[in-house]
Structure 1
Amino acid sequence: MMAGFQPQKTERDGFLPIRTNGFDRGFISVVILILVHLLWMRFLEGVLPLWVATVLCLALAVFIIRKG
């Protein structure tokens, strides 16, 4: 091991009820994106286009990855 090298703590506590790292938060965001898109296509696609769901999910994903 190199002198003076200290590994960074990658897991952290956020608003999610579990300790997560960046990959965990990204995976949770993708699962939510898929779920929201499936529900959107079933119930709301006749009223609002699918790109609205994409924009909302991407904004939610950024929030989860940064703060989760």
Structure 2
Amino acid sequence: MSDQQKVPMTKAHKKDESLPPIPDERSGFLPIETNWFDRLFISVVIWIALSLFWFRFVEPAGISIWVSNAISLALAYIIIRRG
């Protein structure tokens, strides 16, 4: 223990001024902290839910499922890029 340098506790916990600051997390419109994979998962779940809704209620009226896929793709882009 005698060969260790004794440093006062106030200096031991002082932040190093030479380190760059840690960037703040980018905040989006989702109310939770997410990474890109979380946002991708949310997009896939929305795509499946919208497809099931579309098959049950909208497609019998004559509108193709491809419209639902286009809407899901646009939502996925918005969620992944800005969410």
Q: Taking structure 2 as the reference length, what is the TM-score of the superposition? A: 0.67
**Identity across the alignment (%):** 58
Structure 2 residues without counterparts, runs of 5 or longer: 1-22
Q: What corresponds to 1:25 in structure 2? A: 39
Which of 35, 52, 62 is the matching residue for 2:77?
62
Q: How many residues align?
A: 61
Q: In structure 2, the residue corresponding to 1:45 is in which secondary structure? A: helix
- Superposed structure 1 runs of 4+ greater than 6 Å apart: none
Q: Taking structure 1 as the reference length, what is the TM-score of the superposition? A: 0.81
Q: In structure 1, the residue corresponding to 2:37 is in which secondary structure? A: helix
Q: In structure 2, the residue corresponding to 1:56 is in which secondary structure? A: helix
Q: What CA distance in whole angstroms lies between the structure 1 residues aligned with 2:81 and 2:28? A: 9
Structure 1 residues without counterparts, runs of 5 or longer: 1-8
